[in-house]
Amino acid sequence: MFHLASSSPRRAAILDALGAAYTMAGMDIDEQRLPGETADAMVLRLAAGKAAAAGKLHANAVLAADTAVVVDDEIFGKPVDQEDAMLMLARLSGRSHQVMTGVAVRWGDTERVILSTTEVRFREISPDEALAYWQSGEPRGKAGAYAIQGLAGLFVEQISGSYSGVVGLPVYETATLLAEAGIDLLKRTASQ
């Protein structure tokens, strides 16, 4: 049993699909990018910060993650409104971007962090398509104003890297860190 320091239903769905036994609660930490901080350093710092904060409250191992959509080292967060989402989708249209997910696992006095970087290429997205996508409700609350596992999959021309990392929790990296903490998801699933 471990604790997921997140309130993301997407991360929970990934862990549920793996048959993981965990508790779950989000952690509120300052998620502002530090001056001069690279996107990869930011997601690793935030994942570690969430794990550290949750580690003070939970005796079990703690898993935390942070995901950013990155275009030319500009981080696209969650859209604040329709106009913001439309601008993001226009910038993502017809080009590649990176999705970076930092994963941290903390147990006892030990902490490990790992980075998953996935290259995603979108086809051209017309303004009408972007508007229809916004009106679907899916982009709200999603980094980069899209969810690859939903309707935005229609925009994806190519992906190189971890699909689950784009969703918000890269399976390979997560399993690797949990195994270091003594939590073997495969053995756990096989014994159930």
> Distance (Å, rounded) from C-alpha 1 to C-alpha 115?
23
Claim: this prediction has a pTM higher than 0.75: yes
What's the mean pLDDT when you consider all of the chain? Answer: 93
Select from 75, 118, 79, 127 the least CA-distant residue to 98: 118
Where in the sequence is the domain holding 172, given as residue range(s)?
Answer: 2-190
Q: Mind listing the pLDDT tens digit for each residue in 28-76?
A: 888 889 999 999 999 999 999 999 999 888 888 999 999 999 998 899 9
Distances (CA, A) of 74 to 106, 142, 163, 176: 29, 16, 21, 29
Q: Are 85 and 141 in contact (CB under 8 A)?
A: no
- Domain CATH code at residue 118: 3.90.950.10
Please tell me the total count of domains within the chain. Answer: 1
Q: Mind listing the pLDDT tens digit for each residue in 133-173?
A: 999 999 998 999 999 999 999 999 999 999 999 999 999 99
Q: Mind listing the pLDDT tens digit for each residue in 94-146?
A: 999 999 999 999 998 999 999 999 999 999 999 999 999 999 999 998 999 99
Select from 81, 185, 78, 90 the least CA-distant residue to 142: 78
Catalytic residue selected from 66, 72, 84, 128: 66
Q: Mind listing the pLDDT tens digit for each residue in 166-187?
A: 999 999 999 999 999 999 988 7
What type of residue sits at position 28?
D
To the query of whether residue 66 is one of the catalytic residues in this protein, the response is: yes
